[in-house]
Structure 1
Amino acid sequence: MRALASFADRDPVPWANGAGQTTELVSLSDSAQLTPGLRPWRLSIARLERLGPFSALPGMARTFLPTAEVALEIDGRVHPVPALQPERFHGSQDVSLVDMAEPCFAVNLMVADSGKEPETGSGELQMSIDQPAPTDGYRFVLALESSAEYPRFQLLELETGEAVPNEVSVAVLHAERAATHI
C-alpha cells in the first residue's frame, strides 16, 4: 500500500461558489497520471458547516458521501442521505444541502462525463462502501476514520492482489484498467 495524499497535509480551498471549503486530495490533472486511460476525476473532502447550494459543476458526475446524516434537495426533490451512504448526481443538477444532523465532512468523487444523468461504467472510477472490493484494476482506499496506522481521510493506493485494510472504515475507489493495444 502506498500513501498518496492525506487530508491533514493539505490546505483547504474555497468551493467554486465560495459558500464553503474543501480539501483536494486528487486533482483532475493528478488523476490522469494515477489512472491513465480513465476519465479524469477529482477527490476532495468538503466541510459541511451550514445549509446552502452546491457549486454547479457541469460535465462532472458526482458521488457524495457524508460522514453524518444530511438531506439534499436535487432538482426540487429532497433526498435524505444517511451517514456513509453514497449519493450520486450530476454537476449540472440544482443541488442544495437542506438539512444536517450536525456539521460534518463529505467525500466528493467527481468524474468527467458528458451526460446529464450520472452513469456507472467502464472507464470510470467508482466509489463503494461495505461491498467486496475488486482484487485488480485501479484500487484506492480512503480511511474514513482514524486508526493506529491510518489518519482520517488518508488516500492509499492498493497493489494488485493487496487486501483492503479491515481495521478501519474505508471508502473503496476502483475501476478496471484500460486495455492496452499493441
Structure 2
Amino acid sequence: MPRAVTRFADATTMPWLGGGGITHELARHPADGDFAWRLSVAEVQQDGAFSRLDGVDRVIVLCSPGRMTLHTPDPVELQRFSPYAFDGGSEVSCTVPDGPTRDFNVMTRQGAYVADVATVIGADAPVDVPTGGQVFVFCMDGTVTCGTELGTFDLAELDESTTVDATHGAAAIVTFAPPAG
C-alpha cells in the first residue's frame, strides 16, 4: 500500500542550472539543504551538457519515445524504460535528435544511500519493501496500480509488501538503502 503519493502536477518545477531544460522534483530526502537522495523528471529541451554533480550517483531512465544519446568517453544511446547508471561527477552531455525528451532521474549522495532501479512493463510484480530501506514506484507511462492508481509521472512511496500492476503502463521501482558495510 502507498504511504504517500505525489502527483506530477504537484511536483516542484525548476530550471536547470546550466539551462537547456527543466526539472520536476517529486521527492527528496532531506526536504531542505543538500539531498541524500532525490527523484525527479527532467525535460531535456535541447542538446547540451549535464550539470556536474560531484559525489552523486545517478540513474536515468528515458520515458519518452524520442532518442537520447549520452556522450561520455563511450557514447550510449538510451533505450526507453531501461535504467542507465553513471557517476554524476563525470563530464556528460547529451543529444536529442528527435527533439525534446523526458526522463526519470534517481540521484543518491555517495556514502549516504545506494539506489536500485528496476522496471516493470506491461505486467505485475511483487515488491518487497526492505527493512531499513524505502521503496518508490514511479509511473513512466500509462497507468500503474499499487494500492492506488498512478498516472504518467506520478510517484508513490510504499510502506509494506505489495504488487505493482503495470499491465496498462510502465513502472520504475526504486529502492533506497544505506550503503553496505
Q: Which residue of 2 aligns with 1:36?
A: none
Q: 1:41 to 1:171 in 2, by over 3 A?
A: same
CA distance in 2, matches of 1:108, 1:136: 20
Q: Which residue of 2 aligns with 1:163?
A: 163
113, 130, 154: which one pairs with 2:120? 130
Are positions 1:64 and 2:60 aligned together?
Answer: yes
Q: Deviations over 1:24-57 (max 9, x none)?
A: 01123149xxxxxxx9200110001211110111
CA distance in 1, matches of 2:126, 2:36: 21
129, 145, 148: which one pairs with 2:141? 145
Instruction: Say which structure is richer in strand.
Output: 2
1:23-172 correspondence runs (5 A): 23-30=24-31, 40-67=36-63, 68=65, 69-74=67-72, 76-113=73-110, 123-130=113-120, 134-137=127-130, 138-147=134-143, 149-167=149-167, 168-172=169-173
CA contact (8 A) 2:53 2:89 kept: yes
CA distance in 2, matches of 1:30, 1:161: 25
Whichever residue aligns with residue 64 of structure 1, its letter is I
3-state SS of 1:12 partner: strand
Shift of 1:134: 4.2
3-state SS of 1:130 partner: strand
Shift of 1:136: 2.6
CA contact (8 A) 2:55 2:109 kept: yes
Q: Which runs of 5+ in 1 are unaligned?
A: 32-38, 115-121
TM-score (normalised: structure 1)? 0.78
Q: Deviations over 1:75-116 (max 9, x none)?
A: x321111111111111110101124434220111000016xx
CA contact (8 A) 1:136 1:176 kept: no
TM-score (normalised: structure 2)? 0.78
CA distance in 2, matches of 1:136, 1:99: 35
Number of residue pairs the alignment of both structures matches: 164
CA distance in 2, matches of 1:146, 1:160: 24
Q: Deviations over 1:4-28 (max 9, x none)?
A: 3121122420112233210001123
